[in-house]
Amino acid sequence: MINPRYAPALALALVCGAAHASASAGHFTFKDWEVACDNTRRCEAAGYQKEDAAEPVVLALARDAGATASVSLKLSPYTDDDAKLGPLTVQVGQTTVRGLRADVELTPEHVARLLPLLLNAESAKISAGKRSWTLSLAGLKAALLKLDDVQGRVGTPTALAMPGTKPASAVLPPLPAPQVKQLPAVATRKEDGKLLPSIVKTLKHGGCESPVDIADGERQNELHRLSATQVLLVLECGRGAYQSSFELWTANDKAPYAPKPVKLPDANGRRDAYLMNPGFDNNQLTSFGKGRGIGDCNVSATWAWTVTGFQLIEASSGQLCRGIPGGYPLRDYTATVIHPAGK
């Protein structure tokens, strides 16, 4: 089991941003639907089958901020084999819409026809040959109303859930994504392998906030080079059935190592001292935390190494656990990465 100290990392996968209700960002669930709006006011929504239904399916909706932004819809029935699905048919009440393609954005004509039908129904049946799925529409109106509210659309002709006669000029514009200047990656040196145990033995509890119940020789510790004089330690501090939690330190590559703990910024501006299932490549650090084994609900993030430390460049999460391996994460945060010249 994962040390209780790291339980919040799993909770974050399910409630990331749920209590953060600013006008520019947030992640919310409404029955069988969830909606996320990032720091640029782009909003994404996903609806699934009912929780006890056998066949997983997701309908994904996305819309940028701004009065002229269009609506994107994509229908993705899940299959546990490699068989390619043929044309999809969607039945909503007495109306049938044919000729849709799985995992492909619907045409504007299909969006215009299908979306009003979905808003006034309890479910939709999706079929492909002999296979069928039932998409729940419980929570759809509330999800789209939240999307409209964040983007300033309520009462305007552009609103999805509650249109009105307010001028379209009332719709909020998109916000610019922050720019993050990533430092160039530095090649690992032969002697770096010896640095890891030397630095770890100077740290209390092997670099973890609490004593570690994993044998030192079995810990999945890593060391990565950040610059000509500085290294990153990624230290395993807790292990569960399908994932591990880690804490991070930066240190000098020569004694005195002067290690310093790293706290990573999340989509809501908070800083955490640990991350789940990390990866590090080309001066970018990643984390992927699963709500359960198949990862159908999860939280992920990517940070870039900069002159001021690690800066968040991307975060997403999927809060509803509906049986789709890897889930269908919605974007909670984005930034524009400025790479070193020539990279």
- Is 25-170 in CATH node 2.60.40.2540? yes
116 three-class SS: helix
Of all helices (H) and strands (E), which one includes residue 274? strand 274-276
**DSSP label at residue 70:** P
Q: Letter for the amino acid at 171?
A: V
Euclidean distance between CA atoms 35 and 46, whole angstroms = 7
Q: Which residue has the higher pLDDT, 81 or 205?
A: 205
d(CA 155, CA 171): 10
Report whether pLDDT(92) > 90: yes
Q: CA-CA distance, 112 to 87, in Å (whole number)?
A: 19
Torsion, CA 202, CA 207, CA 212, CA 216, rounded to 10: -60
Average pLDDT on 241-257 reads: 96
The model's confidence at residue 10, banded by pLDDT at 50, 70 and 90, is very low
- Please state the domain extents for the chain: 25-170, 179-338
Q: What angle do CA 16, 22, 28 make, to 5 degrees?
A: 40
Span 207-234, mean pLDDT?
95
Is the pLDDT confidence value at 204 over 80?
A: yes
Q: Please state, in angstroms and rounded to a whole number, the distance separating the CA atoms of residues 20 and 87.
A: 40
Q: What's the pTM?
A: 0.90
Widest pairwise Cα distance in the chain: 75
Cα 105 to Cα 73, 189, 203, 223, 342: the distances in Å are 6, 46, 51, 42, 34
Confidence of residue 272 (pLDDT cuts 50, 70, 90): confident
Inform me whether the pLDDT recorded for 20 exceeds 70.
no
Q: What is the mean pLDDT of the chain?
A: 91
Instruction: Quote the pLDDT of residue 24.
Output: 44
Beta-bridge partners for 45 = 35, 61
- The β-bridge partners of 33 are 30, 47
CA 191 – CA 214 distance, rounded (Å): 26
Quick one: tokens of 33? 């639907």
The CA–CA distances, whole Å, from 116 to 77, 159, 208, 250, 253 equal 21, 12, 53, 53, 61
Please give the C-alpha separations between residue 212 and each of 2, 7, 178, 257, in angstroms, as whole numbers.
10, 15, 37, 22
Residue 19 has pLDDT above 70, yes or no: no
**What local confidence, expressed as pLDDT, does residue 273 receive?**
78
**What are the pLDDT digits (tens) for 277-292?**
999 999 999 999 999 9
Question: What pLDDT, on the 0 to 100 scale, is given for residue 25?
Answer: 65
Tens-digit pLDDT profile for residues 144-199 = 999 999 999 999 999 999 999 999 999 999 999 999 999 999 999 989 989 999 99
